[in-house]
Amino acid sequence: MTYKTILVHCSAQPKVEQRLAVAVDLAQRHGALLVGVHVQEPFMTPAMFDGTAALDDLFAAYEQRAQADVTAAKAAFFKAVKGTHLSTEWRSESGYAATQLGIHARYADLVVLGQADPDGDDDAPTDLPETLALSTGRPALVVPHIGARSPVGKTVMLCWNASRESARAASDALPLLRGADKVIVLSVDPKPSAGGHGAEPGADVATWLARHGVKVTVQRDVAADSDVGGIILSRAADHDVDLIVMGLYGHSRLREMVLGGASRTLLASMTVPIFVAH
């Protein structure tokens, strides 16, 4: 298994360069087609508004901004791939980001997204990574708004709790895990059981990964009264991890998102890219 089509969400924000750098690097390493997608959110009439003439002015301003946004996003994409020998495609859509990206994501092997920037004015919803991972059946690699060192995936932490979601994430991330110099399987508060972790928590998944040529070690940790997400971030810092792989726990219903505690903590406070799958 390898990634043959990588999709990257291209917004008009300056920090899009950070996720583009990660996407370009991954596409080069895997010989993948890199698809850049920009989605222009629709015009929304202000909730408390009365005045047709002023509405025309607002819509004209929206159209002007929309054209500037797609021009900036397209320029950033082609600047990022300039000088490479990548096969690329550029796509521009109008509509809601989660819907339009979700359609394109189903025909990609991996989606590269950016964490919402609290200081930015991007129109994309802040829960976009969760929405796409939960609704498309495709993994997403989320790049922190503070950026990421390159290359991503040399020292990887796989969060393992023997669940369906963590198994799916490990399988979807295999191309990255095989290429890593070191993979740390982290289990927090694991309990030996015949139906889950096995007699020696982490040993079974480590054996499976080793059969795929993954250089793997196992670490077991105790959360006690601490948040599991906080423990994961702390251990990632201890081991100088540059990528975290985890199953995403929760469900998507319309635009309402409910996530497990660890998922919520990591996606809100990430310091390194996070690969999520559901």
Confidence (pLDDT) at 257: 40
Q: Which two tokens stand for residue 204?
A: 């079974």
5-143 and 155-277 share one CATH topology?
Answer: yes
Least reliable range by pLDDT among 62-66, 88-92, 148-152: 148-152
Q: What is the mean pLDDT of residues 210-214?
A: 98
The CATH label, of 3.40.50.620, 3.40.50.800, 3.30.2290.10, 3.30.70.2740, for the domain at 155-277 is 3.40.50.620
Q: Where are the domains of the chain?
A: 5-143, 155-277
Hey, which residues does 33 pair with through a beta bridge? 5
Q: 256 falls in which pLDDT band (50, 70, 90)?
A: very low
Q: 254 falls in which pLDDT band (50, 70, 90)?
A: very low
pLDDT in tens, 89-142: 999 999 999 999 999 999 999 999 999 877 766 666 678 888 898 889 899 999
At 210, the amino acid letter reads A
3-class state of residue 278 by DSSP = coil
Residue 124: alpha-carbon gap to chain centroid: 14
Q: What is the mean pLDDT of residues 236-253?
A: 84
Q: Judge whether residue 8 has pLDDT over 90.
A: yes
Least reliable range by pLDDT among 132-141, 189-198, 244-253: 244-253
Question: What whole-number percentage of the chain has pLDDT above 90?
Answer: 60
- What lies within 8 Å, CB to CB, of 225 at 6+ separation is none
What is the model's pTM? 0.90
Structural class in CATH, domain 5-143? alpha beta
Which residue shows structure tokens 């969060």?
159
Q: Is 148 left (phi over 0), alpha (psi -120 to 50) or beta?
A: beta
Least reliable range by pLDDT among 60-74, 115-129, 213-227: 115-129
Report the C-alpha gap between 92 and 115 in whole angstroms.
21
